[in-house]
């Protein structure tokens, strides 16, 4: 294992031990909200991802999730929650992150993945070598995508 792999392992472990955004959504009054359940039959991971969106700016003001599953799926949800918490993302910006993450996880990124877009999610790059774990890593992100579609329908 290279030093970098070790570092990535640590990021994943950290997120699965102390998950960010796990719990109930507490939306600000007047927010648009959406919630989506996603299940990964090949591993047994389950997740509910909920978001609150400011109806005027379209910004995601909070993201919360509940779930159970392998450490990859749980760490990935936590990393996603961290990105949404630390940055100001509207639907389009969030979709850009999801697309970059999907490319990386499917091993289709040309060159190095963009750390500006992906943050800690870069730690999951190694998952692309394990076809069986791709769905685990994508689970929360796919659920967020469904949430964004629900919110779009309300705006």
Give the footprint of Zn ion on this chain (CB under 5 A): 43, 45, 69-70, 73, 136
Shortest spacing between CB 42 and Zn ion, in angstroms: 8
d(CA 89, CA 79): 15
Closer residue to Zn ion (CB): 37 or 155: 37
Closer residue to Zn ion (CB): 57 or 68: 68
Cα–Cα distance list, 29 to 53, 54, 61 (Å): 10, 9, 11
Q: What single string gives the DSSP state of each residue in 128-151?
A: GG-HHHHHHHHHHHHHHHHHHHHH
Shortest spacing between CB 65 and Zn ion, in angstroms: 15
Shortest spacing between CB 88 and Zn ion, in angstroms: 30
d(CA 147, CA 46): 16
Shortest spacing between CB 139 and Zn ion, in angstroms: 7
Closer residue to Zn ion (CB): 43 or 142: 43
Closer residue to Zn ion (CB): 67 or 91: 67
Cα–Cα distance list, 70 to 10, 73, 109 (Å): 15, 6, 25
């Amino acid at each position: 294992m290279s030093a970098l792999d070790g570092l990535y392992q640590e990021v994943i472990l950290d997120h699965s031990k102390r998950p960010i955004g796990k719990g109930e959504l507490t939306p600000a009054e007047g927010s648009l909200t959406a919630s989506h359940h996603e299940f990964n039959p090949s591993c047994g991971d389950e997740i509910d991802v909920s978001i609150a969106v400011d109806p005027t700016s379209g910004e995601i003001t909070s993201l919360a999730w509940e779930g159970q599953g392998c450490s990859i799926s749980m760490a990935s949800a936590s990393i996603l929650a961290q990105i949404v918490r630390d940055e100001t993302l509207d639907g389009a910006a969030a979709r850009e992150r999801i697309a970059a993450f999907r490319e990386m996880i499917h091993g289709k990124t040309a060159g190095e993945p963009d750390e500006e877009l992906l943050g800690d999610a870069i730690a999951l790059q190694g998952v692309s070598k394990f076809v069986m774990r791709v769905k685990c890593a994508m689970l929360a992100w796919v659920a967020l995508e469904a949430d964004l579609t629900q919110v779009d329908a309300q705006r």
